[in-house]
Amino acid sequence: MKKSIHNYTAVFERNENNGYTVTVPSLPGLVTEGRNLDDARKMATEAIECYLAGLKVDKKQLPVEGDIASIRLSVFA
């Protein structure tokens, strides 16, 4: 099975526990958290992979945000 890489912008916001809450505007309802930026980045990557896998199972079209072959993570601090 051929795999493709999709590009999504993740928004990291510091939360009240001094960790980060992560949302992905192109993937409605996707929210995750991490204890620090590294943890939040890992959690965001896993959450995006799970979200896309769920869309594939439901035979829904994958959202496309851009043409760059990577996951772009944007940090607003």
Residues 6+ apart with CB under 8 A from 34: 19, 20, 22, 40, 41, 42, 43, 44
Q: Which CATH number fits domain 10-75: 3.30.300.160, 3.40.50.10800, 3.30.160.250, 3.40.50.720?
A: 3.30.160.250
Q: What is the pLDDT of residue 70?
A: 46
| One pLDDT digit (tens) per residue for the chain, 77 residues | 567 777 888 989 999 999 999 999 889 899 999 999 999 999 999 999 899 889 888 788 777 665 333 455 655 54
The structure's pTM equals 0.74
User: What are the structural domain ranges in the chain?
Assistant: 10-75
